[in-house]
Amino acid sequence: MSDAPARLVEAFRSFGGDDLRDLWVFDHHGYEHLYLREDVSDALESLDVSRFIDNERFGYVTRDTYETLYYADYGYTVRGFDAFEQFRTFVGDHPTGVLAGFDRGTDGRDFAALHDRICALNEEFGGTELFSDPTARDRRP
């Protein structure tokens, strides 16, 4: 794994600790998991991961819509499910999506701080190296 994906995983692990379930990067053409907890991997075996990621790609449209409707820039989305919370953001000029799941916690999480950290990492690496291996895109976990 190159330095950028490893640092991204480190940022998410620092933020969520053992509550981090999974971490994915995706663009218009492919996706890759950077972190996948074993119990989550088992749960995903019965799912079509490509459909799951395709659904997240709708966020490109949502992001553009928000950018035109609001007076502030779109940052990130957090969705709550009965067993976990899901965070999604886009970074870069030709955006790369970043998607992560966390076990539901009893304390609130500062997702804005996580978003700021991701943006800082993206700037540090020029937004070009978030995929650890571009040839491995569209891999199933």
CATH number for the domain harbouring residue 17: 3.30.450.30
For residue 23 the two structure tokens come to 């971490």
Residue 71 lies in a domain: yes
Residue where the block lists tokens 């000029």: 93
CB of 57 closer than 8 Å to CB of 87: no
Q: Is the pLDDT of residue 55 over 60?
A: yes
Q: In this predicted structure, what is the pLDDT of residue 76?
A: 92
Residue 29 lies in a domain: yes
Q: What angle do CA 66, 64, 15 make, to 5 degrees?
A: 75
Range of the domain at 83: 3-126
Residue 133 lies in a domain: no
> CA–CA separation, 107 vs 126, rounded Å?
33
Say how many residues make up the chain.
Answer: 141
Residue 63 lies in a domain: yes
Residue 84 lies in a domain: yes
Q: How many domains does the chain have?
A: 1
pLDDT tens digits for range 60-112: 777 777 777 888 888 899 999 998 999 999 888 778 899 999 999 777 899 99
